[in-house]
Structure 1
């Protein structure tokens, strides 16, 4: 099963109900994706990993928008760091675009990642590294981007 299939459900849920709609949509999308995969009930990714991936996409989108402009370099950095398969670029792009326009803050998504990986600080550190990579990809790390990454670091503990 591809994790990206369940992200579509998360995107729909996100557009209808914000962070909590995203969780519900991700669950439903994951079940539909598993039903289509004919894997005899075995899945490659568990729900927490799906939530993590979707939350990381949303954080990346909100960080890219933090300085008021999403650059081409930032989009390339997101694609590079998240290792998005070519056949899923369009779906992930829709999630990214919806997230950067959504007025809800980034904090619920950082809290979701923190909750899932509270006992694995290496993953949380890698998220911060990914966000810095995205922020610096356009050659200029703005104060808004620094502030957002610092806030996320505080949420992570």
Structure 2
């Protein structure tokens, strides 16, 4: 939008050359509003991608060891996560090394979280995506251990989420996971769908649509890549978006049937 306004104003005051400059400035503003500084500064984006990946795998290692031992389910989840990213053999070894580093009982994760906040902290979507990945990791063995939840809560607090906001995110991701693989046949599917979107049966259609659009915007590939999520990790975010889409479709289909 701003690139068009910039071009028109530039042309009005300075002619064709002004239109060109106005278009460039407007494009800069559009990209900044959509993607943050990573979208307009390639060096910043590259740094964010590196820090984001590093923090993901170190945090996964710390989380996996939070309950005192690393389960086979958690190991399998990390392996599947790496496979989804399509990592080369070299990058796979780096990811595993970071995971093991985080899993060391004597390892202090706070410096890494401080680094993440310094590089990525001004973009809320990156903080949320990291928490989502970690919650999904904690759910890999079928439930979240109390020690895992404490650690997740601590990280969320470090990122500026109060307890209520964290609980809401945890509940949403937990219920979104119920739609992995397109599952919608359980007796509680409709209730799960409302929780997956962070709404209730009492919410109006416009409220539900706004919640759905907000979530889908947060998982939009171009937006995430522009903010610093590595391209390989977009596939993981896309799976979350599919679960949200299935939940939303279930709600709208149910409301059409009942006329509510």
| Corresponding position: 1:104 with 2:107 | yes
1-side partners of 2:116 and 2:148: how far apart? 19
Matched-pair contact (CA < 8 Å) for 1:132–1:149: yes
Matches of residues 1-157 of structure 1 in structure 2 within 5 Å? 46-81=46-81, 83=85, 85-87=87-89, 88-101=91-104, 103-157=106-160
Structure 1 residues 135 and 72: CA distance shift in structure 2, 3 A: same
Deviations 1:60-105 (Å, cap 9, x if unpaired)? 1000000111122212323444525151323322232233125132
Aligned length: 115
CA contact (8 A) 2:48 2:120 kept: no
Q: Considering only CA atoms, is the larger Rg found in Structure 1 or Structure 2?
A: 2
The 10-residue stretch of structure 1 (132-141 or 106-115) with the greater mean CA deviation from structure 2: 106-115
- Tell me the TM-score normalized by structure 1: 0.63
1:107·1:152 contact (CA, 8 Å) conserved in 2? no
Q: Taking structure 2 as the reference length, what is the TM-score of the superposition?
A: 0.40
Segments ≥4 residues shifted beyond 6 Å: none
Q: Is the 1:60–1:134 Cα contact (8 Å) retained in structure 2? A: yes
In structure 2, stretches of 5+ residues that fail to align are 1-41, 161-260
* Greater relative CO (CA pairs within 8 A, separation 6+): 1
CA distance in 1, matches of 2:104, 2:135: 21
- 1:21-78 Cα offsets, whole Å, 9 max, x none, are xxxxxxxxxxxxxxxxxxxxx98x6233212211221111000000111122212323
Maintained 8 Å contact 2:101/2:107: no
Deviations 1:102-124 (A, max 9, x none): 51322222222222222211111
